[in-house]
Amino acid sequence: MSEETTTPPQAAEAPTQTGPPAEGKRTQLKLVRENIQSLSKDVGNLGKNHEASIKKLEKQVAALRSDLAAQSVSKDVGSFRKSHEASAKRLEKQVATLRSDVAALKIGIAKDSARARAKQEATLAKILTKVNAKPAKTAKPAAKPTKKPAKGTAKR
């Protein structure tokens, strides 16, 4: 490209030179050919550089895609971690509630069984008093025979 910018001044100098016009045309043609060759070389180099740049950019795009995929996976893992922690907290609260409920039920069962035992003992005590009281009454009449007054005797 630098040759391209230098070419117009040389072409401008060629007509001012003295000499046969055929030689000026030959010089101009020679300069045009050199310019075309340098331009074709520049275009070839540009194509090679462009291909290298494309390959480099494709590698960068692939790296960025893999990084993006890794970030999306890490975001998924992060959201999974957060939901897992929330679930764990909920479950811990439920377990604590269930434990307190079980403790309350155990206390209630213990109280109910104590009441039932006390009631059973009271009922057994009543039954024992009744059983013990009846044989004493039946034993007394058997121990004391009652005498009936004889028919001929009257109480005075």
pLDDT at 43 over 80: yes
User: Who's near 10: CB < 8 A, 6+ residues apart?
Assistant: 31
d(CA 95, CA 92): 5
CB 30 within 8 A of CB 13: no
Domain ranges of the chain: 2-14+21-133
Q: 40-57 in b/e burial notation, b at 16+ Cβ within 10 A?
A: eeeeeeeeeeeeeeeeee
Compute the radius of gyration of the chain from its Cα atoms.
62
Taking 50 as the threshold, does the pLDDT of residue 4 lie above it?
no
Q: In whole numbers, what is the pLDDT of the chain averaged over residues?
A: 79
Whether this prediction's pTM lies above 0.85 is answered by no
- pLDDT tens across 134-153, in order? 654 455 555 555 666 656 55
76-117 confidence digits (pLDDT tens) = 778 888 888 999 999 999 999 999 999 999 999 999 999 999
